Amino acid sequence: MLSDIKEKITKSLQKKREVKPLVSAKSDLDLIRQIKGKKFPGFKQLVLVRKILSPIEKKIIWFSFFVIILGLMLFSFGFVVGNSQQVPAVGGRYTEAVVGSPSLINPIFASINDVDTDLSRMIFSGLLRYDKNQKLVKDLAESYEISEDKKTYTFKLRKDVLWHNGNQFTASDVVFTFTSIQNQAVGSPLFVTFQGVEIEVVDDYTVRFKLQEPFAPFLSTLTVGIISEEIWFDILPERMKLHSQNLQPVGTGPFMFKKLSKDDSGYIRNIEMVRFENYYGMPAYIEEFVFKFFAEYEGPDGAIQALRGQRVQGLNFVPHNLKEKVERKHINLHTLQLPQYTALFFNQTENSNLKESKLRTALQYAIDKDRIMREALRNEGRIIESPILPGFPGYNPEIDKLGYDVVKANELLDGVWDRISAEDYKEEKRKELMLEWEQNNPTVSSTTSTIDVVDTNGNSSTTTLDDIANKNIEDQLKEIINEAQVFYRKDSDDNIIEINLVTVDTTEYKQAADFIAGFWQEVGIKTNISLVNPKEFSRKVLKSRDYDVLLYGMILGSDPDQFSFWHSSQVQFPGLNLSQYVNRNVDALLEKAREIDNEDEIVELYKKFQDIILSEKPAIFLYMPTYTYATSDEVRGIDVVMIFHPVDRFANVTEWYLKTKRNWGSKN
């Protein structure tokens, strides 16, 4: 019996030791599910996992988790970037520093002040405009037609244009603008441009211009901004310049006037404009556009310091000599080609000596243009020899040049005028001044009489009238005699040859004028420099023509027409014939060039015009400068390379932007 029990126990143990083969993973999972009853582990189970994991296993799991999350983030970012694009967004406030101040923000007056021109371009629109590639395109005009005889221009106007005050723009506004320009009582500097042009309303959205003679560049003149008839109609023509509306403009352009701020002295400090949402073209991205005005470039309160201190985001012009002070990591400098020639214009009616062609030729030989370009413009420009600039009809790069040659200059002058040494001239002036002093002091019986003199500090001393006279004369001689000039020249009337050189009081012109005066002193020509405030230059100089020689820059713009600068009808202000030059052959050439549109014929006419100008030398042509302005790198969308006028830097201003956003969709 005992043996039977033992046998049963042995068999039972053998059964327990038998290893059953694995059926499948699914069977194991089924067993687990039967035990737990869930497909996924719960939170408590996951928490308990860490208790059975080693430190290394924990690190591996956390690292894997981090890689998965990072991968998902990168994938999401790549997906978004790959399927969207960053685009400009509306918003932001842009402030531009401007050296100068506005006076007439009105397109029919603005052309004589760059600040007014800039503001007018932002606020007003013309029938046509220049785009960022300097191509003439339609603006307020929807379309236009030119008659076969090139004398009649018919414009169809856009019907979706609103003034900033909400009123509708019509053909009456266009006609009112140009008839105001033609009214001499208004005093527009554009008066000469539209003389003899008939303007009429055909219907509410059609206007017609009729010219007396064909004028090929006529379309380029129609970029002038249009003003509102409703606003200006009741204002007397002679009062238009004085009206407050010139500083509170209402236009149809991409920006509308908001407000201006003045300081206690009445000086305008800021003009604020805002984006015009109902603009008929593409509304601007920048929400607010501000012009901040400064009296100077340098100094703690100057425009450059404001830019460097990030109080403004742009500077309208960077003088060549101050470029290094503007250059900074987050400031972009935009250097543009500008069709401007800077020249010395001889006013032969003001100074009879300048009628002598040998003098004008000698003065040209005496000028070292390379040195002016190098030291006054820091080589940022191009030396020129004629009024025909590169890229314009008639330009000839192989033109004969009069190089810098002091010896030739003196040879020419020696044949006309005698020299007098600086010492002899000084002695002559001393005698003249002494005689003048004696005539002005007839009651003085003796110059040896002693008198007591008290200086500004209250100290007294004894001197004689003779000493006082000599000191007074010596002080005057210091102002009259330039120690650097070793000799002078006299004309047939025994008068010293003297030239009054007038220019704008800017760093560039002042430096250039100093060099020019020094060059002319080397050939015995006494040269006096007068610097005139830019704000007063038009009134004091251009209007009066009060100068012997004028150092000035003429902006040609997009039009090759030289009529305004050299035709005899333009010798009086507001004409720009600054040499008051009269030549009937030149008149005929310029008149004919206006009437034809054959490019080959125009080229030949301007070549002949150029030959006459270079032969008669009514001016010395010096250089063509570049134009540089600065903006913060926050400002994007600026896309202008060449300009016809400084204001053209705003040719694509509606595309400038400060803010961005992402739009869903492929970049392609």
* DSSP secondary structure string for all residues of 299-336: STTSHHHHHHTTS-SEES---GGGHHHH--TTEEEEEE
Pick one of 3.40.50.150, 3.40.50.620, 3.40.190.10, 3.40.366.30 as the CATH number of 93-313+634-664.
3.40.190.10
Residue that wins the pLDDT comparison between 4 and 489: 489
Q: Is the separation of the CB atoms in 307 and 326 below 8 Å?
A: yes
Q: What is the pLDDT of residues 297-340, one digit of tens each?
A: 999 999 999 999 999 999 999 988 888 899 988 999 998 888 88
Would you say 99 and 295 are in contact if contact means Cβ atoms under 8 Å apart? Answer: yes
Model-wide pTM > 0.85: no
pLDDT at 206: 97
Q: How far is CA 294 from CA 291, 298, 301, 313, 649, in A?
A: 10, 10, 8, 14, 20
Determine if residue 187 is left, alpha or beta; phi over 0 gives left, psi from -120 to 50 gives alpha, anything else beta: left
Alpha-carbon gap, residue 91 to 88, rounded angstroms: 9
pLDDT beyond 70 at 293: yes
Residue 372: how many other CB atoms lie within 10 Å = 23
- Residue 22: the pLDDT is 46
Q: pLDDT value at position 427? A: 77
Residue 139's pLDDT band (boundaries 50, 70, 90)?
Answer: very high
The DSSP element (H or E) to which 424 belongs, if any, is: helix 422-440
Pull the structure tokens for residue 447. Answer: 């110059």
CATH architecture assigned to 340-417+497-626: Roll (3.10)
The domain spans of the chain are 43-82, 93-313+634-664, 340-417+497-626
231 membership: H or E segment, kind and range: helix 229-232
Report which DSSP code applies to 619: E
Find, among 113, 74, 26, the residue nearest to 645 by Cα.
113
Q: Give 23's pLDDT tier (boundaries 50, 70, 90).
A: very low
Query: Which pLDDT band holds residue 351 (cuts at 50, 70, 90)?
Result: confident
